[in-house]
Structure 1
Amino acid sequence: MSWLDTLNTLGVQVDESGNCQVSAAVTNASATITPLTHLGLFDVTGPDAEKFLQGQLSCDVQKVRAGKSLLGSHCNIKGAMVSLSRILPVENGFWLRTERPVLDTAMANLKKYMIFSKAESHDLSDEIIGLGFCGEQAATLLSAQGFSIPAETGECSAGHEGVLIRVPDDRFELWLPEQQAEPLLKTLLTTGSLTGTDNWKLAEIRSGLPSLQRDTLETFIPQMTNLQIFDGVSFSKGCYTGQEVVTRLQHRGKLNRPMYRLAFTATKAPAAGTVINTPDRAGVGTVVSAAMDSDSSGELLAVMLKTSFDDDGAILTLDDNDQPLVRLNLPYELDPELFERPQRL
C-alpha cells in the first residue's frame, strides 16, 4: 500500500499540489499530526557534499554537519533566492526539505554546479515521509515512541531510521522511510489527532518562517524574507553563490522590503506571488505564503514596502479582494540597522 493509500484510509485527501485535508474533526488539539505531503525531500551525498553545499547555500553547512538543522537558500548571482530548503544532516551527506512543487527546480539548479564535485543528488520524496507535530503534548507523544526529543530549536535526533527536528514554537518535523512511517502513524493516532496542511502552514506563518513557491522564485533576496533571523544566512563563512549582493545589503545597503505577517478575510487563501496594493500605489507587497484559519479568514506572510505602514490609516488590500489586510505581530524583532543606510565616510 502506498503512503497516499494509507492516508486515504485514514480520511486524508491530498490534492494535486500536495496539500491535504482531513475529513474528521480534530479531537486532541494538544497533540496534532500533519502529513507533510506539500513538502518533498532530496539528498546531496558524497565525499564533497559538505564542501559543495557550503559554496552554494546561504547558511553555514558546517553547523548542519555538527547536528543542527538550518534553513538555507540557494541564490543566483544577483542574490535572489532560486530555492529555499531546510537542511538536515544524515549519513554521508544531507537531506534538503523544500516545497514539493519546486523541488525539481531546486535540485536541478544545484546539480548544475555539482558536475565538478564528488557529490550526487536524488529525489527521495516517494521514499522519505514527513510528519509535523504541534501542541503541548507533541514532545510527550514522540517520546512515548522512543524518540529522543531535541532540547533546542534547530537541534536534531535520530530514530526509526529517520531524523526528528525541533522547529520554532516547540513544533517538530519528522522525516523517515515510508515503511517506518505507516505503522508509526497508526500508533501515534491512538493519542494524537490528524490535521490538514493549513494547520501546519498556519503554524509556520505564526512562527514567521518563509517559504518559496513557483511564482516567487528569484523574487526575494534572503533578508527580504527575514531569513537571517533563523541563522539561514551566514555573514562569516566565506563565498557562496550570490554572497556579494547578500552581504552588501547587510552591511552597506538599506532593506526597504522586509517580511510582515498579516490577517486577511476571504474564503480561499491567496496564492504565493499575489500582489498587495494601497489605494495610491500598486505592488507595495508580495504574498510569500498564506493559510486559512477559519472558513472566512486566514493569515499570510508578505514582503512589503516598509513605508506602507508609515501611515496608520493606510489601507492594504490583495489583488481582486477589497477586504483590508490587518497587520499582526511577528514573534521576533528585526535589526533596526537594516533599515538605515550606513553613513559613508
Structure 2
Amino acid sequence: MHTSWLTAKSYGQLSNQVQGAFIAPLPAFDIVRVSGADNRKYLQSQTTCDIDQLDDSQFLRGAHCDAKGKTWSVFHLLQQADELLVIAFRDELNASVIQWRKFGVFSKVSFSAGNDDYAVLGIGGDEAHTLVTQLGFKLPGGNGRLSRHNNGMVLQLAEQHYMLVLPKIDAIALLDKAYPLAAPTLWLKQHILHGLCYLEQPLIGEFVPQMLNLQAVSAISFTKGCYLGQETVARMKYLGRNKRAAWILQAQTEEAPAAGCDIEQQFNDNWRRVGQVINAVNINNQLWLIAVLPNDITPADSLRLKSDSAPALQLLPLPYPLS
C-alpha cells in the first residue's frame, strides 16, 4: 500500500503556522477495504472492539493484537455499504493486513487497498467544527460518531479533533480551495494532546493495548466474545497486572525523537531507562510527545529524553481518566 495523492509540491506549501481551525492532509495514513460475507464476523474474532456495535452513524476505535496480546495496530473502523474500511498509520496497517490475510484464508473475507479511492485528512484547531459544516457535513454529534456527505465521511475523534475521509479526487480538489491548510504535524500535535497514538514500525508488537490507554478511549470491549490476544488483555484488567500507561510530555528543545527512543528517570544521582517515545512532533522548538512510562509516574519525577542534549521533559495531564 502506498499513499500518493499528495504531491511533493502540495506538501511543501503546508505550514505549521496556521492559527485557528485547519485542514491537514494525512498522507501517512492508509485505508484497507475489507469485503466478503464474513468481513464483520472475521474482524470480530481479530480485534479488541465489538463490531456488532458498528452502524452507519458511528465508527469504532480498536486494536489488533497477536496471540500474546501485543498490539500490531491501533485503527479506526467504519461501515461503507457492504464493506468495512480500516484506517490506520501505514506501518501498523501493513503489519495487520499481513496477519489478517494469513489467517483469513478459511473465511469469506478479502482485503484490498483503499487508497486508490480514498484519502485521509485531519481537521483540528479552535472552532474546527466550523470547517466541518463548511465542507457540507452535519456535525457528528460526539466522540465516536461520524457524519456522511457526498461519499465522504468525517469522524469525531475528540473535542475539535476530526478525521476526514474523502474520495481521492475530492481530496485533491480540496487542496486548491480557500481553506486554511496545515502540515500534518499540527494535527499530530493535537492528536498527542488528546492522549491518542498510533504505532510506527519500531513499536509494532511491543505493547499490550492498556499500555497505550486504549481502554480509556473506548477501544477495548470486555464483554464481546473471544478474539486474538483476549486472554492477556483480560488478565491485565481483571488481575491488575498492567504497570504501564501512555503519558503526554513536552519540552523546549530542537530535538524530534523517533518512535522507540528512550526516556530516562532520575533516581538519586543516576538516570535509568523507564519508557519509550510512541509519537512525537516538534514545532518551533516545542516538543510534544506521547510515551509509555510506569503508570505511577508523577509530575514531581525528573524525566529526560535520552539523547546528546538530554532535554528535561514535563509531564502533562491526560484528558481522560485511566482505569
- The structure carrying a bigger strand percent of its residues is 2
Q: C-alpha distance in 1, partners of 2:54/2:199?
A: 21
Residues 94-243 of structure 1 mapped to structure 2, 5 A cutoff: 94-187=84-177, 190=178, 192-243=179-230
How far does residue 23 in structure 1 lie from its aligned partner after superposition?
A: 5.1
SS state at 1:258 partner: strand
Residue 288 (structure 1) aligned with residue 290 (structure 2): no
Letter in 1 for 2:256: A
C-alpha distance 252-102 of structure 1, shift in aligned 2 (>3 A): closer
In structure 2, the partner of 1:305 is: 294
Whether the 8 Å contact between 2:74 and 2:92 is mirrored in structure 1 is no
In structure 2, the partner of 1:82 is: 72
Structure 1 unaligned residues grouped into runs of 5+: 14-20, 336-345
SS state at 1:193 partner: coil
Q: C-alpha distance in 2, partners of 1:226/1:24?
A: 28
In structure 1, the partner of 2:238 is: 251
In structure 1, the partner of 2:306 is: 319
1:175-221 Cα offsets, whole Å, 9 max, x none, are: 1211122223433xx2x311111101100000001211101111110
Q: C-alpha distance in 2, partners of 1:143/1:278?
A: 45
1:104-152 Cα offsets, whole Å, 9 max, x none, are: 2221111112111111101222431111111344322232332122111
C-alpha distance 95-135 of structure 1, shift in aligned 2 (>3 A): same
In structure 2, the partner of 1:22 is: 14
Q: C-alpha distance in 1, partners of 2:127/2:173?
A: 20
In structure 2, the partner of 1:3 is: 5
Whether the 8 Å contact between 2:22 and 2:131 is mirrored in structure 1 is no
Letter in 2 for 1:91: A
C-alpha distance 278-31 of structure 1, shift in aligned 2 (>3 A): closer
For the aligned residues, what is the CA RMSD? 2.0
C-alpha distance 24-171 of structure 1, shift in aligned 2 (>3 A): closer
In structure 2, the partner of 1:32 is: 22
Q: C-alpha distance in 1, partners of 2:273/2:16?
A: 39
Whether the 8 Å contact between 2:16 and 2:283 is mirrored in structure 1 is no
C-alpha distance 138-24 of structure 1, shift in aligned 2 (>3 A): closer
1:93 alignment partner, one of 72, 83, 102 = 83
How far does residue 268 in structure 1 lie from its aligned partner after superposition?
A: 3.0
Whether the 8 Å contact between 2:39 and 2:84 is mirrored in structure 1 is yes
Letter in 2 for 1:333: P
Whether the 8 Å contact between 1:284 and 1:308 is mirrored in structure 2 is no
1:36-84 Cα offsets, whole Å, 9 max, x none, are: 1121111111111110111000011122235321221111111100121
Q: C-alpha distance in 2, partners of 1:258/1:23?
A: 32
Whether the 8 Å contact between 1:48 and 1:117 is mirrored in structure 2 is yes
With structure 1 as the length reference, what TM-score do the two structures score?
0.86
Whether the 8 Å contact between 2:264 and 2:305 is mirrored in structure 1 is yes
Q: C-alpha distance in 2, partners of 1:84/1:141?
A: 26
- Over the matched positions of the two proteins, sequence identity in percent amounts to 32
With structure 2 as the length reference, what TM-score do the two structures score?
0.91
Q: C-alpha distance in 2, partners of 1:45/1:243?
A: 24
SS state at 2:312 partner: coil
Q: C-alpha distance in 2, partners of 1:39/1:146?
A: 23
How far does residue 164 in structure 1 lie from its aligned partner after superposition?
A: 1.3
Letter in 1 for 2:262: V
SS state at 2:169 partner: helix
C-alpha distance 291-96 of structure 1, shift in aligned 2 (>3 A): same
SS state at 2:6 partner: helix
Aligned length: 316
Q: C-alpha distance in 2, partners of 1:293/1:329?
A: 20
Structure 2 unaligned residues grouped into runs of 5+: none
Q: C-alpha distance in 2, partners of 1:195/1:164?
A: 17
Q: C-alpha distance in 2, partners of 1:73/1:258?
A: 16
Q: C-alpha distance in 1, partners of 2:5/2:254?
A: 30
Whether the 8 Å contact between 1:160 and 1:180 is mirrored in structure 2 is no
1:278 alignment partner, one of 265, 268, 271 = 265
Q: C-alpha distance in 2, partners of 1:203/1:39?
A: 16
Letter in 1 for 2:114: L
Letter in 1 for 2:288: E
